[in-house]
Amino acid sequence: MQEILSELDSIAGQVENLENRRRRLGSFLKEVKDAEIEGERIPEKKISIPVEEADLTGKSVAGIDGGLLKKGYHAIDLVLTKAVAAVFHYGKGLEDVSYVPEALPTPKLSVFTEPLSREDFSLAANLERMEIEADLAVRVMDSEQLEILLMDGSLLPHPSTNPGEDSDVRGKFEDVLDLYRRMLDSPPCMLAGVCEDSRSRKFSKIVSDDILEKVRSRKKKDLKKILKGTRDTNLLYHVLNQGERTSYFRYCEEPKKTHLPEGILSNVYSFYLKATKYDRPVRVDFHSEGDPAERADEVASRLLSLSSDNEEYAIPTVLIEADKRASLKEEELRFIYSSLQDKVGDVPSLYKLRRDDRPF
């Protein structure tokens, strides 16, 4: 431990130096963010767009989040999932909160008896969660008169959840894709996904290619190097002011790299929003079948109204409520395992994996 502690001064110096360089780059971009920018990937021609809070009087907004627990045993795998939609109903202020299917729904238990690889089991568990979240989104939009529906995370499956053609969970993935198609097929309200901890570098790459490439400066090469190692939210923390969003951009410019059907990608766009003074920007994926700039303004203004309660935590309150209701505790899965053991006895199929049951 002492050796690690002795290295911290050096590591701290590297972090401080890199952060200072990012801050200087952010300051430069802040100076030019109001200038008109040429480039197909910045369709609104500016780095930042001011956002005004929306009036939610008489409106209903919903947020959906899901919980997941999984555990593998000798011959079976258990997955516990739950999804909840919190629906906020506004009058002059927040007047009522309802939940779909209910405030504290019973989790869904999925049992896998086929011999899945460790990778496929992890995929299967994530697909179970995605399935109940997308299914709930379709049902909520059908049953509620909503202004906007917010999903926790992206509006589309992450490419890492796409199994190979010969995977044992390929069929499940296709079923989940069908649900996403239904969710994105002319939704009756605004639809967006809020990615609270995005690791994306997409906007940084756009800045590097479409802005810095046109700058005449001896420092250009160094600035591009900084951007190459910088996540979007880290960069934009130094660029955006409270109540600003970036220009929208396409969720995916190269559909083949996502291994997702092109049809499901065609109407999904993204932007970053800095909703509060002290928190980082969040990435927002949104659906638009009309003018993406107009829809980006509409979505951002609703998010700004829903995210301004805490200056240091810029997540919409309706998603915070959904998260609390959808959370699962490890004790719930342990109880199910113990109950199953009580019914069938200490059979080999239910033996714990050796790494979870070492006697020392």
**How many CB atoms lie under 10 A from the CB of residue 310?**
14
Query: Six-digit token pair at 3?
Result: 């050796």
pLDDT top residue among 54 and 219: 54
211 pLDDT more than 90:
no
What are the tens digits of pLDDT across the range 198-208?
Answer: 888 888 888 88
Given this model, what pLDDT does residue 351 score?
A: 66
In this structure, is residue 324 part of a structural domain? yes
The arithmetic mean of pLDDT across residues 262-276, rounded, is 90
For residue 7, tell me if it sits in a domain.
no
Whole-prediction pTM value?
0.92
Q: Is residue 15 part of a domain?
A: no
38 domain residue, yes or no: no
| Higher-scoring residue by pLDDT: 311, 91 | 91
Q: Is the peptide bond before 101 cis (omega within 30 degrees of 0)?
A: yes
What whole-number distance in Å separates Cα of residue 118 and Cα of residue 231? 30
Mean pLDDT of 263-273: 91
Give 109-135 pLDDT, tens digit per residue: 999 988 888 899 999 999 999 999 999
Looking at the domain assignment, is residue 138 inside a domain? yes
Most confident of 55-59, 220-224, 346-350: 55-59
Residue 358 has pLDDT above 70, yes or no: no
User: CA angle at residue 268 from 264 to 273, to 5 degrees?
Assistant: 155
Determine, yes or no, domain membership for 102: yes
- At how many degrees (to 10) do helices 202-210 and 220-228 cross? 170
Strand partners, 293: none
How far apart CA 128 and CA 80 sit, in angstroms, is 9
Give the chain's domain count.
1
Mean pLDDT over each residue of the chain, to the nearest integer: 88
pLDDT at 229: 78
Give me the domain span that covers residue 154: 48-344
Query: Quick check: 307 and 279 in contact, CB under 8 A?
Result: no
Residue 33 lies in a domain: no
pLDDT in the model for residue 19: 83
CATH number of the domain within which 190 lies: 3.30.2170
Give the confidence band of 249 by pLDDT, cuts at 50, 70, 90.
very high
Residue at 2 is within a domain: no
Share of the chain above pLDDT 70, in %: 93
